Chains A and B, each alone.
Chain A
Amino acid sequence: MNGIRVGNRVVGTQAPVTIGWENIPRVQGGPFKQWFFTWFQPVVLFGLIVFWYYAPNSIAKASTAIGIGVGFKILLLALEWVNPRYDSWRLTWKELATDLFYVGLGYTVLRLVDGYLGDGPMIDAMQGYWHLEKFQWFTGLPLLVQAFAISFIFDFGQYWMHRGMHNWQPLWLPHSVHHYITQLNINKGAVGNPIELFLISLGIGGFFDFLPRAALMAGAIGMAIGTYQHINVRFNSPRWWRFLFNTTEHHSLHHSQDFESTRSNYAGSYIFIDRMFGTCIDGEAELLGMEGGRRMTISEQMTHPFTEGWKALKEKFGRSPTAVPAE
């Protein structure tokens, strides 16, 4: 494959990729369908912002956010059924069961571990040790500024953590498991080795004090933008949306079977962070995964970083066999 030059790199030499918005297919069908799949994303985003801005205190609670999150995922599952981006990414029973296993881990045992070892307890310990106060002046900022700050601070940290995972072997080993997924569906973001899922959830937001409503708005903004990273739905995202925010197109390229393409589009929500640091490529890919699209079993996903890490250590520090001189 010849590949396509993007800036100073050449992508698509190992697997087919589509580069440039003008080359990406558009939603086919009648005017209502085209209108729906053009405006769905912005309407949901602004609708959620307005809801959380004005919801009475009795409703503006974490339990409401969980309910909206579950309902939104069910709606997106229906959209995957109605308007799939690729038939080759169709959700099957086995894929759904596998994905839900990881979602379940995230809501149960990983959350339990996170309560003791995650960024919250770490920051509490640091604040206790150095007698640091939270940056309380943040609570006086306008709600939308606080909400954007929360999501941007988290996404900025996640960008560098993610980029680090693609550039440093000890971080790549746990993250590589996530790159064995061969199709994008709405729960695929949860699929990965638990160590990686723990690492990618770390943030420095705990150093700041925010109004609870701002935190709920930030969660809604993250959900209404970040969920589209992993989804099998074709949207005609508006030009401004795909300039600012991460899209399925960007993230499919990041999961491509083409190595050079995977080294792009690291941000979770705000693709403009990638634009700032020169790692954004506008395009998409259908063939995803590693090793030519080999599907990894759950047991291998759990052990892969350790077995590969052990192999790498043995290679680096193991004694090379010495030749025994003949008598």
Chain B
Amino acid sequence: MNTQLIDWIWHVRGSVALAPGQTVEQAFGALDPLFHEPGTSHDRDGDALVFRKKGQAAQDKMSVFDAGVLRIENGMAGAVLHYHLISRALLLCFLAPLLFLGFAQLTLFVGNLEKASAEAAGKDAKAAKKNDKKDLALPLNPIDKFLGAPAPEKPKKDGKDKDSGKKKPSATAAYVFAGIFAALYLIGRVLEDKLVKRLFRRRLLGS
């Protein structure tokens, strides 16, 4: 199986043309400061550079990548830097929606268990409800009345509030976060690709 069919999820590949007349030494010299950040180790072998990052700082311009290979090859139009970078952050962000969908399922499961136990205890609840029928109108301090604050609502007696003290777990937040991470992955995959390309280009062209 060709792993490139799926590894684009967390692998970023691209190429940047070197400036006319720029040698391999000059190009790697221009990129060198990027590989002297804290937590970064690198190894140069001729036309290729391999790097690895561990515990990289938040403001490291390549912090999203954990490893990669940079290779300079001579093409028809001149020398070109080809890079292949690997990002665990992108992979984890891609998988995060699945985790939150799992949390949603867990919440629904717990909610169903609650419902079953509440139904089993239904008779007790009815007995308890009888005692709750007294008027529970909440007071409002005279100062607040004078200042015009709305009076508190009386608790409803039609039974709709019977579970108000015991909220049923809701899976909505988990679905929302699954959506947020799906969007965040798409943004990150495009943005980090563009940013690293721009970083290499600026370094190589010296701007």
Q: List 29 A-B contacts (CB under 8 A).
A: A56-B150, A60-B150, A95-B58, A96-B184, A97-B93, A97-B181, A100-B181, A100-B184, A101-B96, A104-B96, A104-B173, A104-B177, A104-B180, A107-B173, A107-B174, A108-B100, A108-B103, A109-B106, A140-B139, A143-B141, A143-B144, A182-B57, A182-B58, A183-B58, A183-B59, A211-B152, A213-B152, A295-B58, A298-B92
What range describes how many residues of B lie at the interface?
A: 35 or more
State the total of A-B contacts with C-beta under 8 angstroms: 105
Contact indicator per residue, chain B 50-64, by CB within 8 Å of chain A (1) or not (0): 000001111100011
Cross-chain contact A57 with B152 (CB below 8 angstroms): yes
Interface residues of B (CB under 8 A from A): 39, 55-59, 63-64, 89, 92-93, 96, 100, 103-104, 106-107, 110, 138-141, 143-144, 147-150, 152-153, 167, 169, 173-174, 176-177, 180-181, 184, 187-188, 191-192
Interface-located stretch among A20-28, A85-93, A194-202 = A85-93
Interface residues of A (CB under 8 A from B): 53-57, 60, 88, 90, 92-98, 100-101, 103-104, 107-109, 111-112, 115, 139-143, 182-183, 211-213, 293-298
Q: A56-B150, A142-B144, A143-B144 are in contact. Are A97 and B184 (CB under 8 A)?
A: yes
CB nearest neighbor in B for A209: B138
CB nearest neighbor in B for A59: B150
Cross-chain contact A94 with B64 (CB below 8 angstroms): yes
CA distance A94 to B121 in the complex (A): 48
A206, chain B: closest CB distance, angstroms: 11
Cross-chain contact B150 with A92 (CB below 8 angstroms): no
Q: A53-B149, A115-B167 are in contact. Are A295 and B56 (CB under 8 A)?
A: yes
B154, chain A: closest CB distance, angstroms: 10
Cross-chain contact B103 with A109 (CB below 8 angstroms): yes
CA distance A94 to B100 in the complex (A): 18
Cross-chain contact A100 with B103 (CB below 8 angstroms): no
Cross-chain contact B107 with A108 (CB below 8 angstroms): yes
Closest 7 CB pairs of A and B: A104-B177, A107-B173, A108-B103, A142-B141, A108-B174, A142-B143, A94-B64
Contact of A92 among B59, B138, B147, B180 (CB under 8 A): B59
B143, chain A: closest CB distance, angstroms: 5
Contact of B107 among A112, A141, A213 (CB under 8 A): A112
Cross-chain contact B57 with A293 (CB below 8 angstroms): yes
A213 CB contacts on chain B under 8 angstroms:
149-150, 152
B107 CB contacts on chain A under 8 angstroms:
108, 112
B58 CB contacts on chain A under 8 angstroms:
92, 94-95, 182-183, 295
A249, chain B: closest CB distance, angstroms: 20
A203, chain B: closest CB distance, angstroms: 18
Known: A112-B110, A183-B58. 13 other contacts (CB 8 A): A60-B150, A95-B58, A97-B188, A100-B180, A100-B181, A100-B184, A104-B96, A104-B173, A109-B106, A112-B103, A115-B167, A142-B144, A211-B138
A178, chain B: closest CB distance, angstroms: 15
CA distance A91 to B135 in the complex (A): 53
Contact of A112 among B96, B147, B169, B184 (CB under 8 A): B169
B100 CB contacts on chain A under 8 angstroms:
104, 108
CB nearest neighbor in A for B165: A124
A140 CB contacts on chain B under 8 angstroms:
139, 141
B147 CB contacts on chain A under 8 angstroms:
53
A121, chain B: closest CB distance, angstroms: 10
Cross-chain contact B177 with A94 (CB below 8 angstroms): no
Name which of B58, B107, B141, B177 has the most chain A CB atoms within 10 A of its CB.
Answer: B58
CB nearest neighbor in A for B148: A54
CA distance A183 to B57 in the complex (A): 10
Name which of A92, A140, A143, A297 has the most chain B CB atoms within 10 A of its CB.
Answer: A92
A296 CB contacts on chain B under 8 angstroms:
55
B167 CB contacts on chain A under 8 angstroms:
115
A100, chain B: closest CB distance, angstroms: 6
Contact of A104 among B57, B144, B181, B188 (CB under 8 A): B181
CB nearest neighbor in B for A296: B55
CB nearest neighbor in A for B171: A108
CB nearest neighbor in A for B139: A140
B122, chain A: closest CB distance, angstroms: 20
Cross-chain contact B55 with A139 (CB below 8 angstroms): no
Name which of A93, A101, A115 has the most chain B CB atoms within 10 A of its CB.
Answer: A93
B188 CB contacts on chain A under 8 angstroms:
93-94, 97
Cross-chain contact B152 with A212 (CB below 8 angstroms): yes
Cross-chain contact B59 with A93 (CB below 8 angstroms): no
Cross-chain contact B89 with A57 (CB below 8 angstroms): no
